[in-house]
Amino acid sequence: QVQLVESGGGAVQAGVSLRLSCGASIHTATRDCMAWFRQASGKEREWGVTAEPDGTTAYTNAVKSRFTTSKNITKNTLYLQMTNLKPEDTAMYYCAARFDVTRGCSNRPLWYPVWGQGTQVTVSS
């Protein structure tokens, strides 16, 4: 069974940067969709970032220009570089994946069958 493991979260002050990592237990190929979601306490899980099989990325408006995702195929790892963090970025961050896709990626949580356990990011003002 494929596993995703996130790391890199923490408690930081507003304005600093963090880099999250999502390691996959299998080789991530060029036909895989991977995404970052986040869920704040008491709120629904929301989409943040998608890494398409062709290498393009998509970001929700709330994180565009501050967050950047990248994939290291050799290390089977997806990264999320977060800069200028804000208190409203406080949430549990999840990595999700769907492998061997034939169409573009979705930003809907239910579309992704594989999830990591999450890593907490807490940003104080």
What does the block give as tokens for 70? 């990248």
How sure is the predictor about 73, in pLDDT bands with cuts at 50, 70 and 90? confident
Q: Taking a C-beta distance cutoff of 8 angstroms, is the pair 50, 68 a contact?
A: no
Q: Tell me what the mean pLDDT of segment 71-94 comes to.
A: 95
Burial class of 59 by CB neighbour count within 10 A (0 to 12, 13 to 18, 19+): middle
Whole-number Å distance between alpha carbons of 27 and 7: 18
- For the beta carbon of residue 87, count every other beta carbon within 10 angstroms: 11
Q: What is the DSSP letter of 97?
A: E
How sure is the predictor about 32, in pLDDT bands with cuts at 50, 70 and 90? confident
- Please say if the pLDDT value at position 29 is more than 80: no
Q: What pLDDT does 74 receive?
A: 87
Q: What pLDDT does 28 receive?
A: 63
How sure is the predictor about 30, in pLDDT bands with cuts at 50, 70 and 90? low
